[in-house]
Amino acid sequence: MLYTLLLLYMLFINVVALIMYGVDKYKAVHSAWRISERVLLLVALIGGAMGAMIGMYLFRHKTRHARFVVLVPLFLVAQLYLVYLLLT
């Protein structure tokens, strides 16, 4: 049960992160209201690092910002390690 909830949460938050990075890129191109960098990083931190990283490179968004290039992969490694610890 716990594993199922964890899997569903991780799937949900990563899809949300991917969509958010895509929407922010679209808004950047069209000079519209943007999603703050703080929110983008927060979503990556709370479990959406894989979706954020995919979004960064799929949409070519935030890949020149050192904060994102360093923190998002760091969050991903930490999240993978935590999932590993929970599953073993």
Backbone angles phi, psi at 64, to 5 degrees: -105, 0
Q: Do residues 67 and 37 lie in contact, with contact meaning Cβ atoms separated by under 8 Å?
A: yes
Residue 87 has a pLDDT of 81
Burial class (CB in 10 A: 0-12, 13-18, 19+), 48: buried
Give the pLDDT of residue 83. Answer: 87
Report the distance separating Cα 9 and Cα 13, nearest Å: 6
Please state the pTM of the whole predicted model.
0.92
Q: How far apart are CA 3 and CA 86, in angstroms?
A: 8
Domain boundaries, the chain: 2-87
Which pLDDT value is given to residue 3? Answer: 85
Residue 18: predicted pLDDT? 98
| pLDDT number for residue 65 | 95
pLDDT tens digit string along 14-56? 999 999 999 999 999 999 999 999 999 999 999 999 999 999 9
Element (H, E) at 26: helix 2-29
Distances (CA, A) of 83 to 25, 49, 51: 29, 13, 16
